[in-house]
Structure 1
Amino acid sequence: MSLLQFAWYFQWYHNFEYGHEIGCIMLYTGLSILLAAIASALMSIAEKLEKLAQLLATKIFG
């Protein structure tokens, strides 16, 4: 986030031509990392639920 603010600072105060583009790249990179972390967490939860279901199935059906 600080890199995004840094890019906006350059665009606003120094008329840095590509400041906005750098900010967008940082924002989209951050969002993609966040989505990857959420997907990883959901995958971990799904694996744990699968193991729990297998354990319950072995207890019920023996």
Structure 2
Amino acid sequence: MPQPPRVIFLAGIVLVMSQLFQATIVMMMAMVSVFLVLGFSVFTCVQLLIVERFLKKYE
């Protein structure tokens, strides 16, 4: 006995919504990781500059 089209339509909508939800979660995770990497690299660069100035000052 075939299902009524409304049930199939609702199931399709739910599937698409869950797929979009997963995609947005993955995108957010990727953005957060990129921001972390960028912040870490900037932090290390600033730290190196500070250490260099510190060493030059007290040579």
Taking structure 1 as the reference length, the TM-score comes to 0.72
- In structure 2, the residue matched to 1:54 is 47
Q: CA RMSD in A?
A: 1.4
Q: Give CA deviations for 1:32-57 in whole Å, capped at 9, x if unaligned.
A: 10010000000000110111011000
Taking structure 2 as the reference length, the TM-score comes to 0.75
Q: Which amino acid aligns with 1:52?
A: C
Residue ranges of structure 1 left out of the alignment (5+ in a row): 1-13
Identify which of structures 1 and 2 has the higher relative contact order when contacts are C-alpha pairs closer than 8 Å and 6+ apart: 1
User: Sequence identity of aligned pairs in percent?
Assistant: 16
1:41 maps to 2:34 = yes
Larger radius of gyration: 2
Q: Which amino acid aligns with 1:26?
A: Q
- Separation in structure 2 between the aligned mates of residue 18 and residue 58 of structure 1, nearest angstrom: 60
Aligned length: 49
Q: Which amino acid aligns with 2:31?
A: I
- In structure 2, the residue matched to 1:9 is none
